[in-house]
Amino acid sequence: MADESYSFVVVSNRLPVDRVVDEAGNASWKQSPGGLVTALEPVMRAADGAWVGWAGQADLDLEPFDNAGIRIVPVPLSESDLELYYEGFSNDTLWPLYHDVIAQPSYHREWWERYVQVNRRFAEAVAGVSAPGATVWVQDYQLQLVPAMLREARPDLLIGFFNHIPFPAYGLYSQLPWRLQIIDGLLGADVVGFQRVADAGNFSRAVRRLRGYTTKSPVIEVPGVDDAPARRVIAKPFPISIDVAGFQELASRPEVQERARQIREDLGNPKTIMLGVDRLDYTKGITHRLKAFGELLADGSLSVEDVTLVQVATPSRERVESYRQLRDEIELAVGRINGDYGTISHQAISYLHHGFPREEMAALYLAADVMLVTALRDGMNLVAKEYVAARSDEDGVLILSEFAGASDELRAALLVNPHDIDGLKDTILRAIDMPRHERRKRMHSLRKKVAENDVSHWSDSFLATLRRARRTRAAWGGS
Ligand code: ADQ
């Protein structure tokens, strides 16, 4: 074991920090954007634990260091690891497969082999910094083999796994040539967490079909083999959330509210501002949204004097071919709509392909009369929850895809099937025309829901379930 060891270890593909080098060549670290970091950062600060992961730059071999109260343990990845394990197997095999094959997954044995190797590297790094009996929390689809690898090396550890993306129905999952290995990898955990009830159900069904193990929700009975004793694995939903109070505080700052007013003015004071905020990803339904908006302008239901759409499309996975194609497709659609319907003084769509500070995101949410979340498939979608948390004025309308995990909780949103373009158009018109009392009623109910389940509730309930698993294990005579 290494000199240092921690009793609470989080492991994710990406560390919660980015390395920035200034013009003089001095390197420093800043917190990186993304759903996972947003969700876990407050938890890690409070727990005084270690975070194992990749630092975001190829071929960088760094010693562990402290950043903002978190011990950071970097795992190096080479250019070829990134190509095969990350861009390949994680983002061009698992990502499309787990999002219901919206894009065609590619199956390559070379990618799989590197996925196994890199998962082993992560598991070894975690085993090296984990104190005896430590709690380890493995994050997301890039590391699905880590739980079983860790259990083999360190049976003393208490292991949790959380899947941030959907788990597909068996009919799709069964395409995966390595479906057995992945199931076995996940079953190495004591608790396997998912976003939705349906995801946990799909996983348990895959275990029954592929392994024939007995499952009685939320328990999966894993029989003993050789030296390994029989075990019980818990598989259940833990819907993730945001730091609600933090976001609310941000949105209530006078300078953020002033900025929201400024945004409306800069857009030419339209009656309605609609907003979309997404990573530029084919799962997010950006093209469906653009199609609906373009048709509403074309048929005269909306005019650019009255309505502007602000679309933030955060750069993402730009070396993966399907993402490059999607960017071209989106930019072509935006260009066409602006060219056809824009005037000198009013653009139809204000398209922004870059990241923003959180203050600017909050100001955008405050400025938006209608928020469009039209994902074709999404584990949760934190943008929907951020929008609701920002609106302490109890105004604004959330249009939310029923295929985003958030729709299980946010029933008071206007729920849509984004594949149904006519339905989406009707819902947009309904949102724009919604009377103030209905907006208030719906937003009030959404805010209550978001306040009930913030990110610390999410992590507390996951970790409490893990602790209960430890007690059950002890009662069974395990370590
Ligand atoms: P993502 O697919 O990244 O997350 P999402 O849940 O919406 O999607 O989180 C995105 C986060 O990034 C939000 O906090 C948002 O504010 C921020 N963000 C987006 N664009 C930004 C920009 N241009 N500038 C700054 N910040 C920006 C994955 C899964 C989701 C799941 C999360 C958490 O795909 O389904 O909800 O993990 O589990």
Atom of ligand 1 nearest to the CA of 316: 3
pLDDT above 50 (res 298): yes
Q: Does the C-beta of 379 come closer than 6 Å to ligand 1?
A: yes
Q: Give, using CA atoms, the residue closest to atom 17 of ligand 1.
A: 34
Q: Does the C-beta of 362 come closer than 6 Å to ligand 1?
A: no
Token pair in block for residue 411: 């029933």
pLDDT above 90 (res 364): yes
Helix (H, G, I), strand (E, B) or coil at 53: strand
Helix (H, G, I), strand (E, B) or coil at 466: helix
Average pLDDT for 397-412: 98
The pLDDT of residue 42 is 66
Average pLDDT for 105-112: 98
Q: Does the C-beta of 33 come closer than 6 Å to ligand 1?
A: yes
Pocket test for ligand 1, best of 163, 280, 382 (most atoms within 8 A of CB): 382
Q: Does the C-beta of 170 come closer than 6 Å to ligand 1?
A: no
pLDDT above 80 (res 479): no
CB hemisphere CA count around 192 (13 angstroms): 33
The pLDDT of residue 220 is 98
Average pLDDT for 6-14: 93
Please give the model's pTM, rounded to 2 decimal places: 0.95
Give the angle subtended at the CA of 374 by the CAs of 369 and 380, to the nearest 5°. Answer: 100
Residue 343 C-alpha from the chain's centroid:
37
The pLDDT of residue 471 is 84
pLDDT above 60 (res 478): no
The pLDDT of residue 385 is 97
Q: Does the C-beta of 246 come closer than 6 Å to ligand 1?
A: no
The CA distance from 389 to 474, in Å, is 41
Is pLDDT larger for residue 40 or for residue 34? Answer: 40
Q: Does the C-beta of 43 come closer than 6 Å to ligand 1?
A: no
Q: Give, using CA atoms, the residue closest to atom 9 of ligand 1.
A: 35
Q: Does the C-beta of 310 come closer than 6 Å to ligand 1?
A: no
Distance 382 CA to ligand 1 centre (A): 6
Average pLDDT for 103-132: 97
Helix (H, G, I), strand (E, B) or coil at 225: strand
Atom of ligand 1 nearest to the CA of 379: 35
Beta strands in 175-271 (DSSP E): 191-194, 215-216, 219-222, 231-237
pLDDT above 70 (res 477): no
The pLDDT of residue 1 is 44
Question: Picking from 173-177, 355-359, 475-479, which range would have the lowest pLDDT averaged per residue?
Answer: 475-479
Q: Residue 466 burial by CB count (10 A; 0-12/13-18/19+): exposed, middle or buried?
A: buried
Chain mean pLDDT for the chain: 94
The pLDDT of residue 31 is 74
Contact between residue 54 and residue 12 where contact means Cβ atoms under 8 Å apart: no
pLDDT band at 48 (very low <50, low <70, confident <90, very high): low
Average pLDDT for 251-280: 97
Contact between residue 373 and residue 401 where contact means Cβ atoms under 8 Å apart: yes
Pocket test for ligand 1, best of 12, 381, 386, 453 (most atoms within 8 A of CB): 381
Give the angle subtended at the CA of 455 by the CAs of 454 and 460, to the nearest 5°. Answer: 105
Q: Does the C-beta of 284 come closer than 6 Å to ligand 1?
A: no
Distance 317 CA to ligand 1 centre (A): 14
pLDDT band at 472 (very low <50, low <70, confident <90, very high): confident
What is the per-residue pLDDT across 145-173, written as a single tens digit (0 to 9) for each? 999 999 999 999 999 999 999 999 999 99
Contact between residue 465 and residue 190 where contact means Cβ atoms under 8 Å apart: no
Q: Does the C-beta of 134 come closer than 6 Å to ligand 1?
A: no
Distance 401 CA to ligand 1 centre (A): 15
Average pLDDT for 407-436: 98
pLDDT band at 36 (very low <50, low <70, confident <90, very high): low
The pLDDT of residue 43 is 65
Q: Does the C-beta of 397 come closer than 6 Å to ligand 1?
A: no
The pLDDT of residue 16 is 86
Average pLDDT for 107-117: 98
Give the angle subtended at the CA of 39 by the CAs of 35 and 45, to the nearest 5°. Answer: 135
User: How do beta strands 231-237 and 219-222 pair?
Assistant: antiparallel
Question: Picking from 33-37, 319-323, 364-368, which range would have the lowest pLDDT averaged per residue?
Answer: 33-37
> For the complex shown, is ipTM > 0.90?
yes
Q: Does the C-beta of 165 come closer than 6 Å to ligand 1?
A: yes
Q: Does the C-beta of 12 come closer than 6 Å to ligand 1?
A: no
Atom of ligand 1 nearest to the CA of 375: 35
